[in-house]
Amino acid sequence: MTDSTHRQQLLALLARTSFKLGQFKLSSGATSDYYIDCRTTTLHAEGGHLTGHSVLELLEENKIEAEAVGGLTMGADPIVSNVATASAWRTFQHPGAPLLHGFLVRKAEKAHGTGRRIEGFCREGARVVIVDDVCTTGASTIAAIEAAKEAGMIVAAVVCIVEREEANGRPAVEAATKPAPFLRLFTANEVRAEHVKQLAAAESYRSGN
């Protein structure tokens, strides 16, 4: 993982607010001894700021060019908003820097109004980045990839905040988005290690060591 002030701060916040040890049932039906709810971080005022800039830095590091960022509601919603806002801030600071607009993919088409499945930016031929909070099986990420492709957009990359490195998530996503890369900010093991380190530091402080 490339060193980054934004990213290191985001990792610390994720470990403190989003990571829990225990026995949990995942949406995939599997059980796990830990759970990561990224929304408690991506919806956090500072966490949102860190998320937006961390994702932008990851895209820059990998030389990903795109016009918009989007994902499946609702895990992707705060990520999309924060990345779009961060890109606007960067454009203000550095005129000429690319803007990344946002779009959200509904789990089903609206039954009223325009009946659209994609809300926000949607232009045929546009290069876009698909984002998600946690990738386990990759199902929600793949649903967003398929919706973007059906709308005629080109998937330039996929980014997840945390990859659990379980099941067949990465291979499934890579097969759906090939040849575009699948990128992550952190692995679950990195977040877990930071969480354990924070617990140890807190315990040491309480014991006066």
Q: What is the pLDDT of residues 32-87, one digit of tens each?
A: 999 999 999 999 999 999 999 999 999 999 999 999 999 999 999 999 999 999 99
Break the chain into its structural domains and give their ranges. 5-202
For the chain, give the mean pLDDT.
Answer: 91
CA–CA dist 62, 57 (Å, integer): 9
Kindly report the number of other CB atoms within 10 A of residue 98's CB atom.
14
Asked whether the predicted pLDDT for residue 111 surpasses 70, the reply is no
CATH 3.30.365.10 fits 5-202, yes or no: no
- Burial code (b: 16+ CB inside 10 Å, e: under 16) for 113-141 equals eeeebbebbbeeebbbbbbbbbbbbbbbb
pTM: 0.91
Asked whether the predicted pLDDT for residue 12 surpasses 90, the reply is yes
Annotate the chain with three-state secondary structure: CCCCHHHHHHHHHHHHHCEEEEEEECCCCCEEEEEECCHHHHCCHHHHHHHHHHHHHHHHHCCCCCCEEEEECCCCHHHHHHHHHHHHHHHHHCCCCCCCEEEEECCCCCCCCCCCCEEECCCCCCEEEEEEEEECCCHHHHHHHHHHHHCCCEEEEEEEEEECCCCCHHHHHHHHHCCCCEEEEEEHHHHHHHHHHHHHHHHHHHHCC
